Structure 1
Amino acid sequence: MATGYEPLNIPKPVARDVWVIDGPAIRFFGMPFSTRATVIRLEDGGLWVHSPTWLDDGLADAVAALGPVRHLVAPNWIHYAYVADWQARFPQAESWAAPGVAERAASRGVAVRFGHALGQEPPPDWAGEIDQMIVRGSSVHREAVFFHRASRTLILTDLIENFEPAKLSLWFRLLTRLAGNQDPNGRMPRDMKATFRDRGALRADVARMIGWGPERVILAHGRWYTRNGTEELRRAFGWVLTG
């Protein structure tokens, strides 16, 4: 299925030591969602892979050519489906899960193992290179967000979605417009927003992301922001910053 982000399944350079991988669309509640992984090469040469996408031999070889895969990151409760495939191909990699990921996988009968839990601060494995936190405010959606200091790149998953109408079917175009996550004004979808009951906690964490001063913001779904990242954060989270 075409996504509009072809070519798929190849690492695309973003900045020095940063790549995105646009993967095939997946079905979520019957709707086709484009997918995107982010790869960062750490100072020790090892690769850090965020939200691993569908893996084939060509992609595995292309990633291996960038360096040894050291870390596989499942950033929230609905972004873990392909981790097991990457584990099988790169058995030396450590796997990291945001709160709720392991429980969700087990409830769906998905055979995946996670050796480490993601927390509010980065582990020694990437401390000083990638900042992180678990965004607070919702008991349902607990997402780990990351900031690569050297490239000033913020990596989100579902906290902002930005679906481009021209790349969507008429029906999905209507749904994303109603959900409020359509380009050029992508933001948190309305159903997710409703789960953030503690707006003060979310506001503080958004302020922290803004304080990181990102130049670019990579998203898992839709068009990501190649520039003016801080301004896009202020716009997308205006509903909580001014609330």
Structure 2
Amino acid sequence: MKPFEYEPINQLKPIAKNIWIVDGEKLDMSFGPIEVPFPTRMTVIKLENGDLWLHSPIQPTDKLVKQLKTMGKVAHLISPNKLHYSYIAKWKELFPSALSWSSPGVIERASAKGTTLKFDRELGQTPPEEWSSEINQLIFTGSRAVEEVVFYHIDSQVLILTDLIENFDLERAPNKFWQKIYKLAGISAPNGKTPVDFRMTFFGNKKLVRKHVEKIIDWKPEKIVLSHGDIFTENAVEEIKRAFRWALK
């Protein structure tokens, strides 16, 4: 069996020019009485002005923070959906001048979990001027549970997703029970897609989902970074069509 975490963790791993992923430690998410283990992953983009853009920041470590400081100014802290906010406050303490960007529903979700969060800006359907020439974005609406902000780094042709596609390597599963869960949820690699419970929250909004997926396809990504599971390093458009076949057919 492979380790659950994508080792080496807390280390910058380049995937294209000016874009890296950083795999982190396991995080247990509470869904009612169930604790679900997730590997964590941050994406880092260096903007043309030298600023660093951090998507779904993981637990900061001294070594990682030191590495980033040598690369540029940590300027943007991104919560891509209301489930991905756990370490935003810690990064804000370390980099007070960085702008923290909220996703739809994240403040309410954190409050319901007993955490008070403050953000500097809100993410919208179009990118703000801070990165509009370098990163495309859209809010993937239609779900009754979670709205996710999707990003596309134009220069590297890398699409950045959070929970819309999960792609778990069965050999990394903690045990056979979780292997079965990954299979039942439709999120086992190499054919990961939207988890079945998440997919059900889009019921009745298939046309809207199709519109979002078609826009993403129009961006013509070459790679897909995911927050959970194996990333897709090639044939990105075909992988999107496969993963969202339920909305495109």
Query: Aligned residue for 2:147?
Result: 142
Please give the per-residue CA displacement for 1:52-71, whole angstroms capped at 9, x wherever unaligned. Answer: 01111111111112111000
* Paired residue type of 1:166: E
Query: Aligned residue for 2:246?
Result: 239
Aligned pair 1:18/2:19, yes or no? yes
Secondary structure of 1:151's aligned partner: coil
Q: Find 2:196's aligned residue among 187, 190, 211.
A: 190
Query: Aligned residue for 1:67?
Result: 72
Structure 2 counterparts to residues 31-70 of structure 1, below 5 A: 31-70=36-75
Distance 2:141 2:23 in 1: 28
Distance 2:87 2:146 in 1: 19
State the shift of 1:110 in Å. 1.7
Distance 1:111 1:100 in 2: 13
Q: Find 1:163's aligned residue among 165, 168, 171.
A: 168
Please give the per-residue CA displacement for 1:68-105, whole angstroms capped at 9, x wherever unaligned. Answer: 10000000010000101110111110000110011111
CA RMSD of aligned residues (A): 0.9
Equivalent residues, number = 241
Distance 1:144 1:100 in 2: 11
Distance 1:236 1:81 in 2: 27
State the shift of 1:31 in Å. 2.1
* Paired residue type of 2:112: S
State the shift of 1:139 in Å. 2.6
TM-score (norm: length of structure 2):
0.95
Mapped contact 2:39–2:228 kept (Cα < 8 A): yes
Runs (4+) of structure 1 moved beyond 6 Å? none
Q: Which runs of 5+ in 1 are unaligned?
A: none
Query: Aligned residue for 2:99?
Result: 94
Mapped contact 1:31–1:172 kept (Cα < 8 A): no
Aligned pair 1:207/2:214, yes or no? yes
Mapped contact 1:36–1:220 kept (Cα < 8 A): yes
State the shift of 1:183 in Å. 0.5
Secondary structure of 2:240's aligned partner: helix
Mapped contact 1:84–1:111 kept (Cα < 8 A): no
State the shift of 1:150 in Å. 0.2
Aligned identity (percent) is 44
Query: Aligned residue for 1:173?
Result: 179
Please give the per-residue CA displacement for 1:179-198, whole angstroms capped at 9, x wherever unaligned. Answer: 11111110000100010021
TM-score (norm: length of structure 1):
0.97
